[in-house]
Amino acid sequence: MTMNWRPTADWSVLVKRAELMRQARQFFYERQITEVDTHLLSQFGVTDCHLNNLTTELKHPLPSGKKKLYLQTSPEYAMKRILAAYGQDIFQLSHVVRDDEIGRFHNPEFTLLEWYRVGYDDVQLITEVSELLTSLCGAPETKVVTYQQAFIEYLGVDPLSSAGVDTIRRHLVERPSLSEWMSKETDEDTILQVAFSELIESQFPDNRPICVTEFPQSQAALARIDSNDARVARRFEFYYRGVELANGYHELSDAAEQRVRFKKDNEWRERHGREIQPEDTRLLDALDSGLPACSGVALGFDRLLMIICGANIISEVLPFAIDTA
């Protein structure tokens, strides 16, 4: 008899997982932030160039005639519709699904802790993420650096200049595992993202959380462009103990600009042979109706639990990883 029926996490980890969920909820309850529970299946996926939805089909079509449904990669769009309707602070502990790699930090199905603060900018939300990490895992004070500062500090190159991107590409070409790819790569965002992952992240100190802010505007995703420097967006990411933990924005509320970004995403998808995704018209309608000024962040709950438990791979903190599900 095989043993692959057993959970991949030890019982002590499952107990800690339940306790961490309780502690996370308590953190938000104490701040009068309301928990919501949104859908996993939607008639729309995401256009984001670096995310892919898993899909399914209904046996019986919807009244609209649609049968294809998308498993959500994040509760973000649904939560923004609630924000547009009611304008209240909300959070969610949500199972999400992504058609992505399987590895040390990746399982196709995982848990996100996502929340939105009305009236907050990204600086205020960064402070709250830091407070959450201190509360849940005893993390020390967060070090905040801009994307530009991180490249200059760890690589000696300005990523916001064309000359800097050329220099960064040369650094990548020098790596045998990346040489062939990077010698032909011309997309600046791809070059910067690979460099950040391969050359910058690994140099972050393990002893405190690092928050990287002001990403290039071309990597804005759903963030506002900085009003003082149009080269950068009000987007931030948290790293701790070698793990990318959270991604947040001072949220874009301009429906016209969101339509432009959806279109650009799909143009990128078409150029790279990816499936073009339908734009989420319900999100756009919600933005048209008026999204309150707010900031939001999504934090990888399983990755946080990995840090707390000293786990080496995500399967060690999941009741059942995908290969035993």
131 and 168 housed in the same domain: no
182 and 275 housed in the same domain: no
309 and 198 housed in the same domain: no
pLDDT tens for each residue of 13-65: 999 999 999 999 999 999 999 999 999 999 999 999 889 999 999 999 888 88
137 and 282 housed in the same domain: yes
- In angstroms, the CA 171 to CA 175 distance is 7
One-letter identity of residue 294 = C
- How far separated are the first and last CA of the chain, in Å rounded? 17
Q: Please, are residues 302 and 317 in contact by the beta-carbon 8 Å criterion?
A: yes
Laid out side by side, the sheet with 235-240 consists of 34-35, 90-97, 109-118, 294-300, 243-250, 235-240, 210-213, 143-146
- In angstroms, the CA 201 to CA 217 distance is 20
pLDDT tens for each residue of 205-218: 989 999 999 999 98
297 DSSP β-pair partners: 115, 248
Q: Please, are residues 217 and 230 in contact by the beta-carbon 8 Å criterion?
A: yes
Q: Tell me if 251 is assigned to some domain.
A: yes
Closest by CA to 218, choosing from 288, 284, 147, 279, is 147
Q: What is the CA radius of gyration of the chain?
A: 20
CATH number at residue 297: 3.30.930.10
Number of domains in the chain: 2
Q: How far is CA 18 from CA 23, 178, 301, in A?
A: 9, 41, 11
Q: Which residues contact 154 (CB under 8 A, 6 or more apart)?
A: 199, 200, 203
The pTM for the full model equals 0.94
pLDDT on residue 71: 97
pLDDT tens for each residue of 273-293: 889 999 999 999 999 999 999
57 and 40 housed in the same domain: yes
The 3-state DSSP class for residue 291 equals coil
- In angstroms, the CA 139 to CA 156 distance is 29
1 pLDDT band, cuts 50/70/90, is low
Domain of 164? 158-204
Q: Tell me if 2 is assigned to some domain.
A: no
95 and 182 housed in the same domain: no
Closest by CA to 259, choosing from 276, 279, 277, 241, is 279
Q: Please, are residues 244 and 193 in contact by the beta-carbon 8 Å criterion?
A: no
